[in-house]
Chains A and B, each alone.
Chain A
C-alpha cells in the first residue's frame, strides 16, 4: 500500500529556491558598488573617515579632524579593526554649526560557520564646518584610539 507523501516535491522546490538565492546573493555581493558620498557633506566625511581607518591609513583619518583633535589623537595609542568591517549610516543630524553622524560598524567573527557571530557597535562622529568642509571635532564615541595610555 502506497501513500502520497508531500516530501519529494517540497524539498525539491526548496532546493531550487536555495540555489536561486545563492546565485542572487553572489551576484549582489560580487557586483556591489559602494557609492562614493560627497566629501563636502557630513556623510561623505564619515565615509572617508571609516574607509581610512579600515585601510589603516591613519594620516588620512587625522586629516579629517580639527587640528586640536588630530593632535590629541596623534598622542593616543588605540586601535581599529582594519578589515572585515561594514559601516552603515544610522542617522544624520545637521545644523548650521554642527553635524552629528551616527554609524553602525559591524564585524563578523568566528572560525566555524556554526559559531559565526556578528558584533555591531555605534560610532558617533561630531563635526563642525570649516573652510574645506566638515571636520570631526570631538573624539569619536566607542573609540579608544585617542585615549591616553590605550595600547595600539
Chain B
C-alpha cells in the first residue's frame, strides 16, 4: 500500500515535469529553430528525466528494503513476496542507472551553462520537493501514531529517514551546484509545504482543546480523544514548523524580493491567510445569525454552535498568516507604491469582491424564493442570513482596498492608470464576470425552452433562480469594471505616452545585475554571457538603471566588459 502511494506520488510529478519540459522545448524550438540550443534542450530533457526517475526508484527501493528487514517491526506472519520483488527490481535497475547518470551529470555540471540550465534546476527542485513531501508525510504518520496510541510504525519512520537523507543530499548539491535564481521556486515550494503543515497544526491544537472544553461544558462528550489529538497536532507543528523555519526563515525570508519571492508571499502567504480568515469568520457569523434570525440546524444551542471550536481558531490562524506576510512584504518593498503593493491591494480587493458577489447572488436567490408560492416549509431565512453574512464580511474588505486604489487613481493617475496590474485585474474581472453571466443566461434560456417543450414553464422559471441571480450579479460586476476600464482608457488616451524602455538585452554581467535591472525597470531582461571578455569588476547597478532611464528609446543593449560598460539604444531595422 505504501509502495502504491509512493508510486503515485512519484508518477504525477514526473508527468508534470516532463510535460513542462516538453512545452519549454517547443517554445525554444519555435523561437530559434536552427539553434544548437534545441539539441541541448532535448538532451537535457531526457538526461534529467531519467536521472529523476532513477533517483526516485532507488529511494523507493532502499526505503522498501529497510522497512522490510528492519528489526523491531513486529513478527511477520506472511511476507509480501510481490512487494519484495518490486523493491529488488527498483534497486537492481535503479542503482546502476542512477550511478551512470550521476557520473555523467557530475562531469557536465562543471560547465556554467549546464549549472544554470533549466533542466538541471527542474531536476533538483522536483527531487527535493518530492523527497521532502514523502519524508514529512511518512514522518508525521510514524511519529504521531507512536506518540498518540503507542503503535510504533518503525517501517514508516525508516522510509521517512531514507527520503529525508535523499532530500538532504539533493539540498547539498543544489547549494553547491545549483543556480540560486532558478532554485527560488524550490525554496518557495518548501516554504509553502512548511507553512501548510505548521498552520494546520496551529489551527488543530487549539481547536481540539476547545472542542474538549466545549463538549465537557455542555455534556456532549462521549469519548475523550484530546490526548491523541494533541499528539497529532504537536508532531505536525514540529515537522511543519521545522520545515518552514528551514526553508522560509533560514533560506528565503531574508533574501532579495524577486518576482518568485513576491509571488510566494502574495499568493501563498497573503491570499491563503485571507481566504482562510474570510471563510472561517463567515462561518462563525453565519451560525450566530442563523441562530437568532434563521432556521437553526438544531434546536439545542450546544448542538447548533458545535462548529465554533473549529472555526474560531481558523479565524485567528488566517489573520495571523495574512498579517505576517503583509508585514514581510512591507519590509521588503518599502512604503513606495510599486507594482507589488498594487498587486497586494488588488488581490485583497478581489477577495472581498468575491464574497460581495456571492452575497448579492445569494440575496437575489432569497428574494426570488420569497416571491414563489410554496405549500409547506420556508427555508428562505437561512439563504437570506447567508447573503447578509457574505455582505457583512466582504463589503468592508472590498471597500477599504478598492477606495484606496481609486484614490490613487484620482490623485496619481499617470502611474495608477498605466499600471499593468490594474489593467490585468480590470480585464480579468470584466472577462470572468461577463463569461459567468453568459453561461448563466444560456442555462436560463435552456430551462425555459425545455419547460416550453414539456409544458412546465412555471417550474423552469422557478428552477432558474440561481442562474438568474448570477446573470444579474455578474453582469453588474462586469459592467462596473468595464466602466472603470473605459474611464481609464479615456484618461490615458489624453496623455502623451512617454517613450520608455521595454526591451533590454544584457551582454555580459551577472545574474544579480540582470535581476536588479528587471526589478527596478519592470521589464524582462534577456541575458547573454560573453565568451571573449568575461566581466570581472563589479558594475554599479544604480548607474546602469539611471543611464537606461535617461534614454528615450524602447530597446537597449547593455554590454558589460572587463571593467567597461556600454549602453546602446537601438531599433528594428
- Contact residues of B between 459 and 512, Cβ < 8 Å to A: 459, 462-463, 476, 480, 483-484, 487-488, 491
What are 29 A-B residue pairs whose CB atoms fall within 8 Å in the complex? A2-B411, A7-B402, A7-B480, A8-B406, A11-B480, A18-B359, A22-B388, A25-B367, A29-B384, A34-B375, A37-B375, A43-B375, A54-B377, A83-B295, A84-B377, A85-B377, A86-B376, A86-B379, A86-B380, A87-B376, A89-B373, A107-B379, A108-B382, A108-B383, A113-B283, A113-B359, A113-B386, A113-B390, A114-B283
Is B375 touching A91 in the complex (CB atoms < 8 A)? no
Is A114 touching B282 in the complex (CB atoms < 8 A)? yes
Q: Which residues of B contact A2 (CB under 8 A)?
A: 410-411, 413
User: Which stretch in A44-52, A60-68, A71-79, A140-148 binds the other chain?
Assistant: A44-52
Is A86 touching B413 in the complex (CB atoms < 8 A)? no
Is B366 touching A91 in the complex (CB atoms < 8 A)? no
- Contact residues of B between 37 and 80, Cβ < 8 Å to A: none
Q: Which residues of A contact B295 (CB under 8 A)?
A: 83-84
Q: Which residues of A contact B411 (CB under 8 A)?
A: 2
- Contact residues of B between 332 and 389, Cβ < 8 Å to A: 358-360, 362-364, 366-367, 369-389
Interface residues on A, range: 35 or more
Known contacts: A2-B413, A50-B375, A91-B459. The answer to whether A111 contacts B389 by CB under 8 A is no
Give how many B residues have a beta carbon under 8 Å from the other chain's beta carbons: 61
Is A5 touching B410 in the complex (CB atoms < 8 A)? yes
Is A29 touching B459 in the complex (CB atoms < 8 A)? no
Q: Is B125 part of the binding interface, using a Cβ–Cβ cutoff of 8 Å? A: no
Is A47 touching B376 in the complex (CB atoms < 8 A)? yes
Known contacts: A10-B483, A18-B391. The answer to whether A113 contacts B375 by CB under 8 A is no
Binding site for A on B (CB under 8 A): 279, 282-283, 286-287, 295, 297, 307, 358-360, 362-364, 366-367, 369-391, 395, 399, 402-403, 406, 409-411, 413-414, 417, 456, 459, 462-463, 476, 480, 483-484, 487-488, 491
Q: Which residues of B contact A104 (CB under 8 A)?
A: 459, 462-463
**Once bound together, how far apart are the Cα atoms of A54 and B286, in whole Å?**
24
Is A90 touching B409 in the complex (CB atoms < 8 A)? no
Q: Which residues of A contact B362 (CB under 8 A)?
A: 113, 116
Q: Which residues of A contact B390 (CB under 8 A)?
A: 113-114
Q: Which residues of A contact B402 (CB under 8 A)?
A: 7, 11
The majority secondary structure among interface residues of chain B is helix
Which of B364, B366, B386, B463 sits near A29, CB closer than 8 Å? B366
Which residue in chain B gives the minimum CB-CB distance to A34? Answer: B374
Which of B360, B371, B386, B456 sits near A116, CB closer than 8 Å? B386
Is A25 touching B370 in the complex (CB atoms < 8 A)? yes
Q: How far is the CB of A138 from chain B (nearest CB, A)?
A: 20
Q: Which residues of B contact A84 (CB under 8 A)?
A: 295, 297, 377, 379, 382
Q: How far is the CB of A143 from chain B (nearest CB, A)?
A: 15
**Once bound together, how far apart are the Cα atoms of A21 and B388, in whole Å?**
11
Is B375 touching A7 in the complex (CB atoms < 8 A)? no
Is B367 touching A21 in the complex (CB atoms < 8 A)? yes
Is B379 touching A108 in the complex (CB atoms < 8 A)? yes
Known contacts: A8-B406, A83-B295, A86-B377. The answer to whether A112 contacts B282 by CB under 8 A is yes
Interface readout for A28-39 with B: 1 if CB under 8 Å, 0 if not? 110010110100
Is A14 touching B484 in the complex (CB atoms < 8 A)? no
**Once bound together, how far apart are the Cα atoms of A37 and B484, in whole Å?**
52
Q: Which residues of A contact B387 (CB under 8 A)?
A: 22, 113
Which of B364, B399, B409 sits near A3, CB closer than 8 Å? B409
